[in-house]
A = this chain, B = another copy of it.
Amino acid sequence: MDTGKTATPGDADKQPRTERGRRTLRKLLDAAAAEFGERGFHETSISGITARAGTALGSFYTYFDSKEAIFQALVRDMSEAVKLAAREALAEPLPALERERQALAAFLRFAGEHKEVYRIIDEAEFVDPDSYRQHYETTGARILERLREGARQGELRGDLEEAHAWAIMGMNVFLGLRYAVWGDGAMPPDRVASLANDLLTRGIAAER
């Protein structure tokens, strides 16, 4: 998964100090995403990752102590990439509900291009539970911050709280699973995002 960003996962003392080192680390993380995504954690080997990355085994140990360590770094890298995908879509100031629509559309496009992101983050529940929980807690906190900003601007209800953010996060995750990962592309991201946004805007009750 090349997000075009320089990754900075892992221990502070194992950060690459050169541009070449950063490229190697990126190659290892991208190869790890492909290997873990295809084979799952248990069937993936460090030598499989370095073979795919085209790096020497020694390069791996320059940055990571173990398969667990690169998996953890990868979950954090993907969590960051999910955040950045939404943030890029939100570069311009937008009305609060339109912001949610754009964030979901960007997430759906990202998930469609990186289908392995679901399998890897889901497997973190078993391989690295802290990273799994952290991914959802930080994502939920980010959504809540946007909702509160919308409330301050008078565009959203003033009584929104954490449960609303988790409800929206769950909507987004399941719509991504159904239409971006399992879908056949029959429902494009913009249409899925508009349907979900319409639900957020006016609910599902019949007009009275």
Chain A residues with CB under 8 Å of chain B are 40, 42, 97, 119, 122-123, 125-126, 133, 136, 140, 147, 151, 154-158, 160-164, 166-175, 177-179, 182, 187, 192, 195-196, 199-207
Contacts and interface: CB of A to CB of B under 8 A. Distances in A.
Nearest to A174: B170
A85 B65 CA distance: 46
A100 to B, nearest CB: 8
A156 B206 contact: yes
With a 10 A CB-CB cut-off, give which of A97, A170, A202 has the most chain B CB atoms: A170
Contacts of A97: 204-205
Provide the main secondary structure of the chain A interface: helix
B201 A203 contact: yes
A160 B195 CA distance: 9
A203 B195 contact: no
Given A40-B126, A156-B206, A171-B171, 18 more contacts: A97-B205, A122-B122, A122-B125, A147-B204, A157-B207, A163-B178, A164-B195, A164-B204, A166-B171, A167-B171, A167-B175, A167-B199, A168-B171, A200-B205, A201-B205, A202-B202, A202-B203, A202-B205
A205 B156 contact: yes
Contact of A161 (B175, B195, B206): B195
A204 B170 contact: no
Contact of A154 (B136, B203, B206): B206
